[in-house]
């Protein structure tokens, strides 16, 4: 299995304040991307790829010490997360674990994918997500997205919430793609509209096309850095994260 960190975007909302990529934000005396790499067992780090875009040299300089691999989304200025994911799929013919780099989590979350081999596209979902939104100081109805599942099957994701009580979990920015689904997914992404779309919207379209997507329910520690308020509240309210 290859581990892919998506780090092509600038994070415009928070960049205006901090003037660095979100993955280079310092938490616990390390950048977010370093914390994420440290979650990967040392024996598996040769299988790590970072897909860069904005400020790629700064990311490479910060992570070169791990002796990992790099890919580049040359069209990062005009594309979104799914195109960065496609860059990885084009180059890597293997089981792939995709991770955002504006989130932080602990090693036990990653271990879920080293302990078991999944047959379908699979994502962990955080069932106690409201606690994180309280720390972030966000109104769930305005900031969160729909995520509806039955047992271990994802039924809907990425929409506007109409009834907050129907939302039992949230996407965590991690996604497992088995090797056997790679070509199907690449064919799907040949549609130009996916160059400017977010991952949850892609997943919802895959569901509509009857592709089976599984979920893993978890309460693992996790946090998202979407804007400057998230960063301030993490440092102020989540001191027991590590």
Residues 6+ away with beta carbon under 8 Å from 156: 146, 147, 148, 204, 207
16-37 average pLDDT score: 94
Q: Name the band, by pLDDT with cuts 50, 70 and 90, for residue 239.
A: confident
Strand partners, 176: 97, 122
Q: Name the band, by pLDDT with cuts 50, 70 and 90, for residue 96.
A: very high
Please determine, for residue 10, whether its predicted confidence score (pLDDT) is greater than 90: no
pLDDT tens-digit readout, 118-140: 999 999 999 999 999 999 999 99
Give how far the C-alpha of residue 12 lies from the chain's centroid of Cα atoms, to the nearest Å: 17
DSSP code of 214?
E
Q: Name the band, by pLDDT with cuts 50, 70 and 90, for residue 179.
A: very high
Please determine, for residue 22, whether its predicted confidence score (pLDDT) is greater than 90: yes
Task: Please give the Cα distance from 238 to 31 (Å, whole number).
Answer: 16
Task: Please give the Cα distance from 149 to 214 (Å, whole number).
Answer: 9
Please determine, for residue 240, whether its predicted confidence score (pLDDT) is greater than 90: no
Q: Name the band, by pLDDT with cuts 50, 70 and 90, for residue 210.
A: very high
CA atoms within 13 A on the CB side of 27: 28
Phi, psi of 234 (to 5 degrees): -60, -50
Task: Please give the Cα distance from 7 to 24 (Å, whole number).
Answer: 10
More confident residue, 42 or 242: 42
Give how far the C-alpha of residue 229 lies from the chain's centroid of Cα atoms, to the nearest Å: 19
With beta carbons less than 8 A apart as the criterion, state whether 81 and 61 touch: no
- Looking at the domain 2-237, which fold is it? Spore Coat Polysaccharide Biosynthesis Protein SpsA; Chain A (3.90.550)
Quick one: pLDDT at residue 136? 96
Task: Please give the Cα distance from 235 to 109 (Å, whole number).
Answer: 21
Q: Name the band, by pLDDT with cuts 50, 70 and 90, for residue 62.
A: very high
Tokens of 65: 């010490």
Domain-by-domain residue ranges, the chain?
A: 2-237
Q: What mean pLDDT, rounded, does the chain reach?
A: 95
In angstroms, the Cα distances linking 122 to 58, 172, 190 are 31, 12, 21
Integer Rg of the chain from CA: 17
Give how far the C-alpha of residue 94 lies from the chain's centroid of Cα atoms, to the nearest Å: 18
Tokens of 176: 């497992």
What is the β-pairing status of strands 96-100 and 2-7?
A: parallel
Quick one: pLDDT at residue 16? 85
Please determine, for residue 231, whether its predicted confidence score (pLDDT) is greater than 90: yes
10-21 average pLDDT score: 87
Percent of the chain having pLDDT more than 70? Answer: 100
Give how far the C-alpha of residue 33 lies from the chain's centroid of Cα atoms, to the nearest Å: 12
pTM of the model: 0.96
Q: Name the band, by pLDDT with cuts 50, 70 and 90, for residue 13.
A: confident
Task: Please give the Cα distance from 85 to 173 (Å, whole number).
Answer: 12
Phi, psi of 230 (to 5 degrees): -60, -40
């Amino acid at each position: 299995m290859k581990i892919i960190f998506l780090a092509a975007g600038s994070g415009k909302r928070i960049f205006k304040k901090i003037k660095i990529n979100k993955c280079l934000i310092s938490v616990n005396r390390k950048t977010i991307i370093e914390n994420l790499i440290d979650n990967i067992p040392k024996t598996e780090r040769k299988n790590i790829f970072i897909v860069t875009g904005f400020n790629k040299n700064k990311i490479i300089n910060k992570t070169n010490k791990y002796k990992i691999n790099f890919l580049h989304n040359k069209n990062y200025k005009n594309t979104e997360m799914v195109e960065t994911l496609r860059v990885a799929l084009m180059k890597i013919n293997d089981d792939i674990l995709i991770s955002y780099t504006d989130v932080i989590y602990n090693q036990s979350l990653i271990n879920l994918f080293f302990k078991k081999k999944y047959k379908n596209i699979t994502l962990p979902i955080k069932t106690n997500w409201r606690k994180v939104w309280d720390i972030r100081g966000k109104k769930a109805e305005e900031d969160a997205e729909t995520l509806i599942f039955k047992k271990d099957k994802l039924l809907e994701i990425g929409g506007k919430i109409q009834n907050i009580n129907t939302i039992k979990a949230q996407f965590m920015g991690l996604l497992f793609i088995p090797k056997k689904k790679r070509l199907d997914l690449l064919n799907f992404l040949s549609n130009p509209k996916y160059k400017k779309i977010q991952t949850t919207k892609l997943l919802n379209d895959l569901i509509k096309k009857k592709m089976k997507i599984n979920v893993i329910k978890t309460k693992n520690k996790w946090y998202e850095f979407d804007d400057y308020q998230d960063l301030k509240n993490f440092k102020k309210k989540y001191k027991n994260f590590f």
